Structure 1
Amino acid sequence: MEDQEIRNRIVEKMLRKRVIGDKKQQVTTVVGYSVPTHAQGRAEDLIDEMLTDPESPIEGYGGGHRKNIHLTSADAAVEYLEDNGGDVPFPFG
């Protein structure tokens, strides 16, 4: 899988599961349901990169040793997917 395809799958799956606002999930959980096993290590690295990218719809949430993330908004996730050739899940698209 290419890097952009992995990023798109992560955002798409988080949007589908509505990991937005106060809802958060651990990075390992998101990676587990977003990409195949062989791409999970790279997916974790890409999430780390996305957390520092101001154009990314993913942000860290809370503190502590657990790496929790969520989407900044559904609109931001849809825009990201449209701009990067991803699939916008129903009913968002």
Structure 2
Amino acid sequence: MQAQAIRNCLVRKMLRKDVVGAHKIQIDTIVGYSLPTDERGRGRTLLEEMATDPECPVESYGGGHRENVRLTSIEAAVRYLESNDGDVPFGFG
């Protein structure tokens, strides 16, 4: 998979699972839900990069060893998917 396709897949899954606001999810959990086994290492790296990129709708949340992430907002996630040729889930577009 291309890097952007992996990013889109992760954002789409977080959007579908409503990982926004007070909801959060561990990086390993969302990567495991979203990607095939052979892409999970790369997906984890890309998700960590996305959490530090102000242009991406993903942010780190909380502290400690759990490495939680969430979407900054539903609207930002939809805009991100639309501008990067991602598939916006039904009901969000």
TM-score, structure 2 length as denominator? 0.98
Q: CA RMSD in A?
A: 0.5
Between the two proteins, what is the percent identity of the paired residues?
61
Which residue number in structure 1 is paired with residue 55 of structure 2? 55
Which residue number in structure 2 is paired with residue 10 of structure 1? 10
TM-score, structure 1 length as denominator? 0.98
Which residue number in structure 1 is paired with residue 32 of structure 2? 32
Q: What do the CA deviations read for 1:21-74 (whole angstroms, capped 9, x no partner)? A: 000000000000111110000000001111111010000000001100000000
Q: Aligned equivalents of 1:32 and 1:89: distance in 2?
A: 19
For structure 1, list consecutive stretches of 5 or more residues without a partner in the other structure: none
AA aligned to 1:32 is G
For structure 2, list consecutive stretches of 5 or more residues without a partner in the other structure: none
Residues 1:65 and 2:56 are matched in the alignment: no
Number of residues paired by the alignment?
A: 93
Specify the SS of the correspondent of 1:42: helix
Runs of 4 or more off by more than 4 Å in structure 1?
none
Which residue number in structure 2 is paired with residue 76 of structure 1? 76
